[in-house]
Amino acid sequence: MRVRRTLVAGARGLWLTGLSLVGSAALFCLTLVSLASLPLGLGWLTTPPLISLTRRYADQRRRWAHDWTGLRIPDDQRPLPDRQPGLSGHVQHCYQLLRDPATWRELGWLGVDLTAGCITALLPGVLIVLGIEGFVLPLLVWKGLVHDYEYVFLSVSDPVQVALMPVLGAAVLAASLFNTKLLRVHFRLAAAFLTPSKAELAARVTRLTETRHDAVDVSAAELRRIERDLHDGAQARLVAMGMDLGTIEALIERDPAKAKELVSRARTSSAQALTELRDLVRGIHPPVLAERGLDDAVRALALRMPLPVEVTGRLPGRLEAPVESAAYFSVSELLTNAVKHADAERVWVDLEYAEGRLRISVGDDGRGGVVLSADGTSGAAHGGAHSGLRGLERRLGTFDGILAVSSPVGGPTLVTLEIPCALCSPKTSSS
């Protein structure tokens, strides 16, 4: 088993060597040329695909590091929204990629991988080949097939040195038994460049802490709203209905007509209280969301909108309940904003789950002008109506999600939500 692991580690090292010499070198050179062509305009079109390809290339190296050596290399790449159509969409998408610190870390890693990374990956395979050579070379010398050659520091012209070649080969093969650890050196070198700095991690922890505090505040406000709605709505009607029933009990024998009138009023009050309770429960967690999942809940929500809403995309399974709830109410607020403020004639929603991320795009053909400033505040260019995007950003921040807005004056408006999450269960068909 130890020999098998040694041979496998050597083969993997040779594979990584070839990959570094070809893949890393090609990506590094092409990316540098593309960045150099940014002032000419062509780089804005070629840089995003190269950066995306580099990300997938680095992610594959992370997976191999974990699968082959058990080393975890953190990934802090920011999930970015899809590129919008048009030249401005290309430029904006490229600008977002260039602002991501992970882009520059990966570019630096490519340069190191095609040099030092290549050498560290080559070492496990070289040890195996060199060790075997120490046993094969003396046979070739004794048969007269090799006359002028040096094996490490031993020369074939000296019989004593030829006799020592198997000893050196055995020592090299013994060293190759540590090939797995040598291969780990290659991945540790990659981790040194691909792992985010402590300052970046601290900033991310600070942001997550703030969003957690926001979530607690929102939850407390929601509880107060539920208590207020129960007190002012269903509870008041139930109290009034109890008083009516007491009056009915006193009037049922001496004034049946009046008692019958109060019974009718109590029935109406009970129906209204039931409706208010259903609305309250729906506001906490819609039944269709719990029963059918996010995509069916969004389709049901779209049917209740006064505007035509087209919903596309299907999720491959169910997500965790907090993620589904946050996504559902975010879509609900965006659709409500489109109805109230956008003067739109058509709204569309696209659902997608890929690579461990839920992505939802909500667009409309309205007047646009929605802005999301650097401090997170939001508004509309026309009339200054607030769009509530700051609240959505806080809601998504609880799950380390992002919010991106594209809304030129005159429209259309496209808001993209992305939440890193995992599927809880695959989608099951229902009759």
Both 270 and 334 in one domain: the answer is no
Integer Cα distance of 158 and 176 in angstroms: 27
Domain co-membership, 368 together with 355 = yes
Specify whether 129 is located in the same domain as 166.
yes
Same domain, 42 and 177: yes
Q: Is residue 199 part of a domain?
A: no
| Range among 75-79, 207-211, 238-242, 331-335 rated most confident | 331-335
Q: % helix / strand / coil in the chain, to the nearest 5?
A: 65, 10, 25
Total tally of structural domains belonging to the chain: 3
> What is the tens place of the pLDDT at every residue in 177-200?
777 888 888 999 888 888 876 655
pTM score, whole prediction: 0.52
Residue 204 counted as domain residue: no
Of 87 and 430, the structure prediction assigns the larger pLDDT to 87
177 and 119 within one domain: yes
The answer as to whether 216 is a domain residue is no
Domain boundary, last residue among 267, 284, 301: 284
Mean pLDDT in residue range 210-238: 61
- Read off the pLDDT of each residue in 401-411 and give the average, rounded to a whole number: 80
Asked if 48 and 178 sit in the same domain, the reply is: yes
Q: Which amino acid makes up residue 118? A: C
The helix (H) or strand (E) run that includes residue 353 is strand 347-354
Which residues have C-beta within 8 Å of that of residue 388, sequence separation ≥ 6? 333, 337, 378
Q: Which has the closest alpha carbon to 22: 57, 66, 73, 65? A: 57
The amino acid at residue 417 is L
Within a domain: residue 266? yes
Pick the closest to residue 50 from 22, 29, 73, 78 (CA basis): 29
For 296-322, how does the pLDDT look when each residue is reduced to its tens digit (9 = 90+)? 888 888 888 888 889 988 888 888 888
Q: Are residues 269 and 321 in the same domain?
A: no
**206 inside domain:** no
Please tell me whether residues 298 and 389 are part of one structural domain.
yes
More confident residue, 233 or 394: 394
What digits encode the pLDDT tens for the residues 259-301? 778 788 777 777 777 776 666 555 555 677 777 888 888 888 8
Q: Are residues 157 and 233 in the same domain?
A: no
Claim to verify: residue 87 and residue 133 sit in the same structural domain? yes
Domain membership of residue 50 (yes or no) is yes
- Please report the pLDDT score of residue 26 as a whole number: 93
As to burial, measured by CB atoms within 10 angstroms (0-12 exposed, 13-18 middle, 19+ buried), residue 167 is exposed
If phi over 0 gives left and psi between -120 and 50 gives alpha, with beta otherwise, what is residue 144? left
Query: Do the beta carbons of residue 80 and residue 198 sit within 8 Å?
Result: no
My answer on whether 330 and 277 are in the same domain is no
Q: H or E segment at 131?
A: helix 118-142
In this prediction, residues 162-191 reach a mean pLDDT of 83
State whether 186 and 63 are in the same domain. Answer: yes
- Residue 37 neighbours by CB under 8 Å, 6+ apart: 43, 46
Using the 3D structure, point to which of 239, 259, 284 is the last residue of a domain.
284
Containing structural domain, residue 39? 2-194
Token pair recorded at residue 41: 């305009």
pLDDT band at 384 (very low <50, low <70, confident <90, very high): very low
C-alpha distances (whole Å) from 279 to each of 226, 267, 291 are: 11, 19, 17
Q: Is 209 left (phi over 0), alpha (psi -120 to 50) or beta?
A: alpha
CATH of the domain at 407: 3.30.565.10
